[in-house]
Copies of this chain bind each other. A is one copy, B any other.
Amino acid sequence: MQKPYELWYWPTIQGRGEFVRLALEDAGAPYVDVARTPGGMRAMLRMLRGEGAKGPPPFAPPFLRDGALVIAQTANILAYLAPRLKLVPRDEAIRTAALQIQLTIADLVAEVHDTHHPIASSQYYEEQKAVARKRSVNFIKERLPKFLGWLEGILERNAAHLLLGRSVSYVDLSAFQVVCGLRYAFPRAMARIGRTIPHLLALHDRVAKRENLARYLASDRRLPFNEEGIFRHYPELDRAR
């Protein structure tokens, strides 16, 4: 029997780890969420100091351990895992298109982070609130419609209304997560933009109903969104337009 995958991520937030977790859960793959186990946080800090990895140490969580391999960077972890989990075809052209979409989603996620932390990750939100408001205005007005419109366009052109080909791939799961997170963080903005992205919202609903994922989402393994993660609900940052 294969050793379970080890997912290493901050134990109290969905954050970037959730994109990996969704793939593992959807595939029903055996995995340990290491930092949520006793002593796991201390072990993770050791790994971040570069102890125990043969290759380059992770710059930040999440990272995945598969046997001797330690792999960091969310999109990279998914590009490695997805063919093994049958969440992307083996064909190189399709895997390349998948990584392109995943990296664009990662860019969106980084911009979501910066709506509440436009100056410094290491400082409190309250210290950069006025700037956060300005950045959020721009994000909601320009960036969010551009990113979501881009995803919508891809879904529209594919007769299967998936981001890639004819079966659900890991990028569809990530798109689901982005919709969940954005609805939590920016409910007013999303209510308005929602009308322009019917295929993306339909994809969200379709992914949520997948058997393994539905079970996962209802379990206590799915952490609630909160104001420590990437998608944070600060009503003062959420505008209809």
CB distance from A234 to the nearest CB of B (A): 16
- At the interface, yes or no: A120 with Cβ under 8 Å from chain B? yes
Of the listed residues A58, A100, A114, A138, the one surrounded by the most CB atoms of chain B closer than 10 A to its CB is: A100
Task: For the complex, count residues of A whose C-beta is within 8 A of B.
Answer: 43
Q: Which of A101-118 contact B (CB under 8 A)?
A: 101, 103-104, 107, 110, 114, 118
By beta carbon, the residue of chain B nearest A58 is B100
Stretch at the interface among A69-77, A200-208, A219-227: A69-77
Choose from B73, B104, B131, B147 the contact partner of A103 (Cβ within 8 Å).
B73
By beta carbon, the residue of chain B nearest A92 is B80
Choose from B97, B107, B114, B147 the contact partner of A114 (Cβ within 8 Å).
B114
- At the interface, yes or no: A197 with Cβ under 8 Å from chain B? no
Interface contact A56-B154, CB-CB below 8 Å = yes
Q: A56-B101, A73-B104 are in contact. Are A119 and B135 (CB under 8 A)?
A: yes
Question: Beyond A71-B96, A73-B104: 10 further Cβ-contacts under 8 Å?
Answer: A55-B97, A56-B100, A57-B154, A59-B107, A59-B150, A69-B93, A71-B100, A80-B92, A120-B135, A120-B142
